[in-house]
Amino acid sequence: MTFLRYLISRSCRTAFTLRALVILSLALFGFVFGSAQSVPNQQQPRPEQKALPLNPLDKEDKAVAERLARSDRRVRDLVGEANVRLVLVQVVALKPESATESARPVRHAEVVLFQPQGEVGARALVNLASAAVEQVIRLDGSQVPMTREDLADAFQLALRNEEVLKILGPTAKSYQVQSMSLTGTATPMENSVTGLRVRSSDEHDPCFKHRCLQLAFRRGRDFLSGPMIIADLTAKRVYVERKKQQ
Amino acid sequence: MKSSCARQVFFLLLAEIVLSLLASAQTPPPWMPCSGANLVDQSFPTAGPEVTHWRLCWDTVPGNGLLIRWAYFRKSPTSNWLFLLWDARLSEIFVPYHTGSPRYYDVEYMFPLTPVGAQDCPAAVGGTVFGGNVCKQVHDRGLAWKSDNDVRRGEELILWSALAAAWYNYVIEWTFRDDGVVIGRVGATSSNSPSDPWETHMHNPIWRLDVDLNGWPNDSVALGTHIESLPGPSATDVEPVFTVEAGLPWDPHAFNSLNVSDKFLKNGKGDQAEYQLIPLPTGGLSRHLEAFTQQDFWVTHYNWTEMSARDLLSYITPPEPVADTDVVLWYKGSIHHHPRDEDGEIVNGYWHGVALVMWTGFMFKPHDLFDRTPFYP
């Protein structure tokens, strides 16, 4: 309005013209704004937005997806029912069969479960809209990503190794396994143990095929230097490897 | 006097109507499968009338970190929205050490993200923090073009987060520029390996880019290739099309690029539009014993279960046709980390210090998408 007022000569700024201008402009603005609202495909905030296909899963979605996957017969045939670990549950962006503009993705979750005893996993594709498991794929242990539970197992193995205890000294039991918040952010800790997945390129090395994790021990900002501590989760063994200094 | 006033009011209203109608003639924004903070809608320039526009979804997952999904670009307010990316993510970061061991697979552990706050992502550089672990920055990107006294500075939108991979941090960055360019980068930083702090090693990020130019069927990929007629003076450019799935090396002398086209996508001049994946290596690209590291480019047919770079060879065996269909591009970058005193030191048995960020990445650039120079008067 200020813009229009500025352009009108001073002589015209009568109460009448200004009132008319304001009313007409408001009416015009309302018309244009209203037209934009009615454009098809225009995104509008709607209550069902939570369920938009690619929005992150909330706690409830994750619980539903996990429950559906665990109760699926094909999944149970692969990994059993007892001591089955949840590795991940996340949105999967599955393309609709058709590529037409009206074909929209359906909200799907990918659930990966792992049976550590048999080292076998299952990837389940869960349709959250129809509450159905649409596809189940068998995963070898080597294909299953590692989690905090693997790290906790590796740390427990390490704590039973005398050489590791000697390296860690009296603070050995003060380390805690690195954890994350609900938003997937690392939680800062004073003394933490973390790990990286290692695979060997030498087929004679157990870690060529086994699930192996190298441990690292953090105190504040710094990491304990020294030999490599590798936990072989398949063989339930710990290897302490020293390298010559370069 | 009265009629003069009426005329002024009439013409001003007429101008307002014309401007409003022009504004409402913009192609409406497409439906998006995400909302809230996960939906980014950014037009450029950030001040003044809109020219180009990005709309995209992002998400974070443990392991892969920051993903981009469902990205649209609009080259002008009256142009159609162009679908570009279905899913773009880091598939693996493979880290072999020079002595042959260890060999780390940093995306095969469900690593969390590092916290990101106002210090990482200050408002002064156009930063906004999402969820305590993602930063969005919108800011100047330097010169877009210059021609003697004429000049234009460009702008860009950047989304980044950092993977907390044990002693490493990997900064995963996605840039969407005002000229339609997308840049993917990974930066390696934080601590050297506490058990081998002085051993040289390589960080190899491998990206999986599910590109759906103009939608997901009808895409083809060609290998952009420059050939010098040495010892002659001339040169030619050719673009052999991938007919089946394959992995290929990147030859810097051939300026290789992966050129994606859609058979129905042409610009206003009738030229075939493309998006070209151009490596942005820092120093070089590595080769290792593992088969998936022995090529830089891979082209595969879309399959939602094929997400692991380590299994690339099995994905292309036997090779499926990839011409005029739904394609996925893979690109491996490399960061050669030769430790230096600037990285840190051992103090009382602990590694103390951080390695400064080292980057590698790629550019995904439009070719014959615009009809003329964007942002040129």
DSSP, collapsed to helix, strand or coil, labels residue A20 as helix
Q: Whole-angstrom Cα distance, residue B191 to residue B197?
A: 8
| Among chain A residues, CA nearest to B105 | A197
Q: Whole-angstrom Cα distance, residue A68 to residue B80?
A: 40
Note whether B274 contacts A: Cβ–Cβ < 8 A.
no
Interface with chain B: mutation pick from A199, A208, A215, highest number of B CBs within 10 Å: A199
Could you report the per-residue pLDDT of A197-241, keeping only the tens digit for each?
A: 999 999 999 999 999 999 999 999 999 999 999 999 999 999 999
DSSP, collapsed to helix, strand or coil, labels residue A232 as strand
What are the DSSP calls for A106-137, one per residue? Answer: --EEEEEEEETTTTEEEEEEEETTTTEEEEEE
Q: Do residue B166 and residue A197 have CB atoms under 8 angstroms apart?
A: no
Nearest by CB: B166 against A88, A216, A230: A216
Could you report the per-residue pLDDT of B180-222, keeping only the tens digit for each?
A: 999 999 999 999 999 999 999 999 999 999 999 999 889 999 9
% of chain A at pLDDT higher than 90:
66
Predicted local confidence at residue B23, as pLDDT: 52
Interface with chain B: mutation pick from A222, A233, A243, highest number of B CBs within 10 Å: A222
Could you report the per-residue pLDDT of A144-156, keeping only the tens digit for each?
A: 999 999 999 999 9
* Burial (0-12, 13-18, 19+ Cβ within 10 Å), B141: middle
Closest alpha carbon to B125 in B79, B166, B164, B157 = B157
Predicted local confidence at residue A139, as pLDDT: 97
How far apart are the CA of A165 and the nearest CA of chain B, in angstroms?
Answer: 15
CA-CA distances (angstroms) from residue B363 to B184, B237, B281? Answer: 7, 19, 10
Q: Rounded to the nearest 5°, which phi and psi values hold at A10? A: -55, -40
Predicted local confidence at residue B9, as pLDDT: 54
Judged against a pLDDT cut of 70, whether residue A108 lies above it is answered with yes
% of chain B at pLDDT higher than 70:
94
Mean pLDDT over B240-256 rounds to 98
Question: Model confidence at B139, in pLDDT bands (50, 70, 90)?
Answer: very high
Nearest by CB: B17 against A28, A218, A246: A28
Interface with chain A: mutation pick from B26, B108, B338, highest number of A CBs within 10 Å: B108
Predicted local confidence at residue B17, as pLDDT: 54
Q: Whole-angstrom Cα distance, residue B25 to residue B247?
A: 44
Q: Do residue B197 and residue A225 have CB atoms under 8 angstroms apart?
A: yes
Which ipTM score applies to this complex?
A: 0.89
Q: Whole-angstrom Cα distance, residue B215 to residue B82?
A: 8
Q: Whole-angstrom Cα distance, residue B64 to residue B143?
A: 32
Mean pLDDT over B30-41 rounds to 96
Note whether B69 contacts A: Cβ–Cβ < 8 A.
yes
Helices (H), A72-126: 73-79
Predicted local confidence at residue A178, as pLDDT: 86
| Among chain B residues, CA nearest to A29 | B20
The conformation of residue B294, written as its DSSP 8-state character, comes to: S
Judged against a pLDDT cut of 80, whether residue A13 lies above it is answered with no
Bigger pLDDT: A169 vs B7:
A169
DSSP, collapsed to helix, strand or coil, labels residue A4 as helix
Q: Whole-angstrom Cα distance, residue B321 to residue B222?
A: 13
Could you report the per-residue pLDDT of A79-90, keeping only the tens digit for each?
A: 999 999 999 999
Please identify which residue in the block is written with the tokens 């905030």.
A45
Could you report the per-residue pLDDT of A21-70, keeping only the tens digit for each?
A: 444 454 444 334 333 333 323 334 344 555 899 999 999 999 999 999 99
Q: Do residue A42 and residue B346 have CB atoms under 8 angstroms apart?
A: no
Q: Do residue B115 and residue A39 have CB atoms under 8 angstroms apart?
A: no
Question: Model confidence at A242, in pLDDT bands (50, 70, 90)?
Answer: confident
Kindly list the residues from chain B whose CB atom is less than 8 angstroms away from the CB atom of residue A216: 166-167, 194-195
Predicted local confidence at residue A189, as pLDDT: 83
Predicted local confidence at residue A1, as pLDDT: 36
Nearest by CB: A146 against B61, B103, B109: B109
Q: Do residue A28 and residue B20 have CB atoms under 8 angstroms apart?
A: yes
Q: Do residue A90 and residue B61 have CB atoms under 8 angstroms apart?
A: yes
Nearest by CB: B194 against A95, A200, A216: A216
What is the residue-averaged pLDDT of chain A?
83
CB B208 within 8 A of CB B216: no
Predicted local confidence at residue B302, as pLDDT: 96
Judged against a pLDDT cut of 70, whether residue B268 lies above it is answered with yes
Nearest by CB: A91 against B13, B59, B86: B59
Note whether B100 contacts A: Cβ–Cβ < 8 A.
yes
Predicted local confidence at residue A7, as pLDDT: 44
Interface with chain A: mutation pick from B5, B10, B91, B293, highest number of A CBs within 10 Å: B5
Mean pLDDT over A106-131 rounds to 96
Closest alpha carbon to B182 in B52, B349, B301 = B52
